Amino acid sequence: MSLSISPRAALILVDVQPDFMPGGTLACHEGDAIVPGIDQLLRRRLFSHVVATQDWHPADHISFVGSHPGRTPFERIPLYGHAQTLWPAHCVQNTAGAALHPAIDWSTVDKVIRKGDDPRVDSYSGFRENHGPDGRRPATGLAEWLRGRGVDEVYLCGLARDVCVLWTAQDAVDLGYRTHVLWDLTRPVTPESDIPTRIRFDQLGVDVIHALDLAHAQQPPTSRQAAGHSRT
């Protein structure tokens, strides 16, 4: 299968950060394996719009197990009426583990969306934070940015397949975007989650594809402008 990339499509790179890779504090299974493919994909400049999300937590974040004395990593507790996993501290602001991965050329990225910087609220999806104390899920600004550029279709890759990529896909579908996941350019926290994650994508109507499906794709007819990239 070979796909045609619409000029109204965006590539969203979810949390491609060292802390989610081997040697990091919250390593995904084979998380570093996606780095060469993502770098190659970005260098091909297939997408008119490219966004990266970046976990960006304060050191005392509520999702960190260290913020809950007596608890253990990956334990689940109730928080604001929802289940909260207690994670090892990861992607702490201004640390090397929170940086966008240095082996990738990020110069073609138009926008970086930082998430999880409220110490009271966890954040998985690129579109919305998790439920906060008021019961709402605050927007990250990603949907507004995409709307301003006429985007109606998104392609997702990154980490972790079973958490942040999945939540981003769920919100993308909910917001009306045609949604694709580049399966081989994602990795899970644990591979045992792959079957339920794939079932969930099918239930959502998410198109699961591989980077090879883009092998013969062409650059969109409207050329991407190097000037005017908005990095935050």
Q: Which of 15, 110, 122, 162 is catalytic?
A: 15
pTM for the complete prediction?
A: 0.92
- pLDDT single digits (tens) 98-118: 999 999 999 999 999 999 999
Is 122 among the catalytic positions?
no
Whether the CB-CB separation of 106 and 100 falls below 8 Å is answered with yes
181 vs 19: CA distance, rounded Å: 22
**Burial class of residue 172 in the structure, from the number of CB atoms within 10 Å of its CB (0-12 exposed, 13-18 middle, 19+ buried):** buried
Active-site residue, from 28, 91, 157, 164: 164
Does residue 213 have an active-site annotation? no
Residues 6+ apart with CB under 8 A from 58: 92, 93, 117, 119
Q: Is 28 a catalytic residue?
A: no
The residue annotated as part of the active site, out of 115, 122, 162, 171, is 115
Under CATH, what is the fold of the domain 9-58+97-214? Rossmann fold (3.40.50)
DSSP 168-212: HHHHHHHTT-EEEEEEEEEE-SSGGGHHHHHHHHHHHT-EEE-GG
pLDDT digits (tens, 9 = 90+) for 146-201: 999 999 999 999 999 999 999 999 999 999 999 999 999 999 999 999 999 999 99
d(CA 91, CA 9): 28
